[in-house]
A and B are shown apart, each in its own frame.
Chain A
Amino acid sequence: MALLAALVVYPLLYNVGLSLRNYRTGEFVGLHNFARALEDPQFFASLRATGVYVSAALATELTLGLALALLVHRTIHSGWARALVYVLFLIPMVTPPVAAGVIARLIYTPTYGILNVLLLRLGAISSDVLWLSEPATAMFAVLSVDVWQWMPFVFLVCFAGLQAVPADTVEAARVDGADGWRLFWHIEFPYLQSLLLLVLVFRFTDTFRVFDHVQVLTAGGPGATTEFLSLYLYRVAFKFFNLSYAAALSLFVLLVTSLAFAVLGRYLVREVSA
């Protein structure tokens, strides 16, 4: 209990205290640092960029992960082939995000990056695409790393969930003439529902706090187009050394992620008690 207090409660209270003071003089300023956020265009720009990133990453990862899980579940039945798929999907997840960022930087670099070279040879493009220095493509580039790294997590959870669907129920539905879509919607999806919510909350909180690979790949650029909330927070804390404002922003991040977990918690309690 004391350890918990030392590791969690004290830093949290310290952070709250910091957010209510002037970072330079230590003077008590009430909610000034929170009010400052409301009139900070860079904060809103980072929030917008984070919104785009989170929604695009979640939509892509959930759709692709689920689709692939269904595909593998329905088409691959051999044990060793499934094991191979498992191992292949684990590789991105165990890659450190910084390493993933470095690899992606090499792939997306114009002129000698493998992606441009391949696309040019295939005739898909006639001149180099500036993946990391145009706003839309830079967003795509940072998203692609997230999807590569974390779509497998969605896949693995959904695939495991699909194994829990009773084979005789599926068989009965098929005998009754259920096609692929109906089978999924009426039989399989109910088994996956709580798992998907769990995945959604985990991925939401992770993408909301994304930092490592973005810092390596674009450092928030070009301009501030991929400067997500966590990168802006880092800038405020470790470049501006405005620790009080950074503390206020971090409490905002804590609030949003806590809300997401509260929704999950409430749902899970309902599921368990149902």
Chain B
Amino acid sequence: MIITRPKTIEEILTMLEKFAPSPICVVGCGICARKIQTGGETQVTSLVDELRSHGLDVLDGKMVKHACSATSWDELSEEVPALAQASALLVLSCGAGVSLLGRISGKPVLPGLDTTSIGGALGDDISEGLCSMCGECDVAIYAGLCPKSGCPKSQVNGPCGGSSDGDCEVGGRKCIWARIFETLDSRGLLALLDDTRPPVCHDRRL
């Protein structure tokens, strides 16, 4: 799941003024953004109302099944006719969804959300930053708890000096290394951490 956060209405209004010809269509995404309530029906409807209250020409507000995946623009337009009629799309999805809709529609697309990480949802409990997309997943070593994404400093050989009583030095967070250590300790697998890990090969993502 891709984690997104809403942009402020001021940011959206500024963006619309700079980049979007009228009329626009607000588009929500039926997968991640809907699940974490940043781009579901409620958020789309409420944004349409708010934009109209600011005098903007909003054609409609509609959901697509998944903004990051479509068979063709024609099929999508058939499913959601307002998309074809709009001069620009304001998309409440992750950056991938915005990019894909821009690519296949040929229209100006504007992001209504900021994309922050890959996370997950257990019911209403949303976990952010579960994966850093490093391109060489070795999470088995760390009891399934990735320190490259879970530690702000991406420490792979143990905690930094700012870890204290299970807390991270970066405000309000728990130290992922304390959790890795506890979990492996409870499974009798601490020896997995004995070897010094090499740094990430960033070229593997190219």
Q: Do A and B bind each other?
A: no
